[in-house]
Amino acid sequence: MKQIRGKKYATLRTVPSGGARHGFELYFVCQNVEGLDPGTYHYLPLKHCIEFLNPIDKVSDVLASSLCDQLWALKANVILYFSYVPYRTEWRYGHLAHRIALVDLGHVGENIYLASTSIGLGTCGIGACVTSICDEMFELDGENEFILYSQPVGKVNPEDFAKEKSFYEFVEKEGL
């Protein structure tokens, strides 16, 4: 957070946000990160720190079910999950709130792409996350706050680039 405007009316942060509403919260699961126990965490933007929520015994099981069994994502060290708190944008923008919110989250996600790349890490947006499972993971009620986007972040294995190339060979073969 860079600044607070008014009596906590708005916060100015690293990402832009329509009306400075910042309708999102950032949660994450981590595994194999030095100094952090495997488990669920929550980012506190006003203090720029993280809080530990709960330990997780078998991280890979939780991650797989929350990300529609997209197993490639389980290799990441940190899996970010963004929740949306509709009230924050709806009281200000009414029926246009969701337009603002989706554009806002695009900015946040792109910043994660830029930050990851700048330190030699990889990330990938994941729209196919199972909201109910993710909500349970972070103890969200699914109505006033719910998860809607995820981004695993981790080291990129050079061998995976080769696999990526062969994965798309079918596109050329089939003239798609």
Q: Which of 126, 134, 147, 153 binds ligand FMN (CB under 6 A)?
A: 126
Of residues 35 and 127, the one with the C-beta less far from ligand FMN: 127
Spatial contact of 29 and 39, defined as CB atoms under 8 Å apart: yes
Query: How buried is residue 131: exposed, middle or buried, by Cβ count under 10 Å (0-12/13-18/19+)?
Result: middle
Say whether residue 71 binds ligand FMN (CB under 6 A).
Answer: no
User: CA-based Rg of the chain, rounded to a whole angstrom?
Assistant: 18
Give min distance, CB of 134 to ligand FMN, in A: 13
Of residues 56 and 126, the one with the C-beta less far from ligand FMN: 126
- At CA 72, angle to CA 34 and CA 109, rounded to 5? 75
Q: Which of 35, 94, 127, 158 binds ligand FMN (CB under 6 A)?
A: 127
Segments in 39-151 forming alpha helices (H):
59-66, 86-93, 97-118, 131-137
Say whether residue 74 binds ligand FMN (CB under 6 A).
Answer: no
* 133 CA to centre of own chain: 15
CA–CA separation, 39 vs 58, rounded Å? 9
Give min distance, CB of 31 to ligand FMN, in A: 19
Query: How buried is residue 12: exposed, middle or buried, by Cβ count under 10 Å (0-12/13-18/19+)?
Result: middle
Give min distance, CB of 126 to ligand FMN, in A: 4
Q: Which of 70, 77, 111, 131 binds ligand FMN (CB under 6 A)?
A: 70
Of residues 91 and 168, the one with the C-beta less far from ligand FMN: 168
Q: Which stretch binds ligand FMN (CB under 6 A): 74-82, 93-101, 121-129, 135-143?
A: 121-129
Say whether residue 124 binds ligand FMN (CB under 6 A).
Answer: yes
Say whether residue 65 binds ligand FMN (CB under 6 A).
Answer: no
CA–CA separation, 161 vs 106, rounded Å? 25
Binding residues (CB under 6 A) for ligand FMN: these are 70, 124-128
